[in-house]
Amino acid sequence: MIKTILTYVIAGMIIVLVCMWLWTGGWALIKQSVRNMPNPIDIIWGNSSSTYAIVLPGQPPIPQGPDISNLTDQYADSGTSNTQDISPEERQAQQQAQNNAIRAQAQAAQHVNDSPYAGVVSLSSGTASDKTQTEYLTLDANQQIPVGGWSLVSTMTGMRATIPAYSKGPQGSLVPTVMRSGDTAIVVSATSPAASAISASWHVYLNAGTNIWSDSHDTIQLLDASGRIVDTISY
């Protein structure tokens, strides 16, 4: 008896649900979806690009984004060229221009710390690479320039020595270390009597007490009073 009652109740609920579905337009929606459905044969053979979506009764609408279809036409009308339309010669020229720009930026970054005196005073290794008691570097100036307060730095060992404000000038007396055009200065690491016998316009003593530059290999920078690079040597 109970089984029979449950069967009638379930059947009645199914009938009620079908009636409600028909009343809300379910059958009409099915016919509309079938009518809008593209031909399956065309889809298989690639002759149709249509898309369709089945909307269930009571389903909320799917949010749509802004229409951007006109952007394609605007881009096409803007005159922007496609790389596929560029000849190999034009593409090579563009690549070369990009390489030149990158190279120029790298060179500018490399010389950003260069001193305005770069090229005015040049540095040479002198006897720094020799195993000798009289170790010195050489400075050559092509215009008058004060070098007192400048420094010499080894980028390998971190050793730094400052050129004194007063040195033995061309007359052998202590004067401000101001090199003239054509002057040559020897920058002696330690005080050495033998250094005074070396022919030079200037004898600059760093008073380090010992040799400070590597005999085998080193990279030494000449820095101005602001710490910018005037010249660099490596041996």
In this structure, the answer to whether residues 229 and 133 fall within a common structural domain is: yes
CA proximity to 201, closest of 149, 144, 118, 157:
144
Number of domains in the chain: 2
Tokens representing 139 are 């400075």
Nearest to 191 by CA among 134, 116, 112: 134
**Residue 138's CATH number:** 2.60.40.1260
Residue 85 lies in a domain: no
- pLDDT per position as a tens digit, 28-81: 766 666 666 666 666 555 555 555 555 555 555 655 555 555 555 554 554 444
Check if the beta carbon of residue 57 is closer than 8 Å to that of residue 18.
no
Q: Determine the pLDDT at residue 8.
A: 78
Looking from the CA of 184 toward its CB, the CA atoms found within 13 Å total 9
Measured CA to CA in angstroms, residue 32 lies from 3, 22, 43, 197 at distances of: 40, 14, 19, 110
40 plus 138 within the same structural domain = no
- CA dist 164 and 151 (Å) reads 9
Please state the pTM of the whole predicted model. 0.52
Its domain, for residue 25, covers: 2-45
Question: Is 39 within a domain?
Answer: yes
222 or 32: which leads in pLDDT:
222
Q: Is residue 180 part of a domain?
A: yes
**Residue 113 within any structural domain of the chain:** no
Within a domain: 81? no
pLDDT tens for 85-138 read 778 888 888 888 887 777 666 655 555 578 999 999 999 988 888 777 788 999
Give me the mean pLDDT over the 161-170 stretch. Answer: 88
Within-domain flag for 58: no
- Is residue 71 assigned to a domain? no
Which DSSP string corresponds to 39-92? PHHHHHHT----------TTPPPPP-----HHHHHHHHHTTPPPGGGS-HHHHH
φ, ψ for residue 31 (rounded to 5)? -65, -40
Residue 37 lies in a domain: yes
The CA distance from 41 to 157, in Å, is: 80
Q: What is the pLDDT of residues 9-22, one digit of tens each?
A: 888 888 888 777 67
| 136 contacts: CB under 8 Å, gap ≥ 6 | 126, 127, 128, 186, 187, 188, 189, 195, 198
| pLDDT for 68 | 57
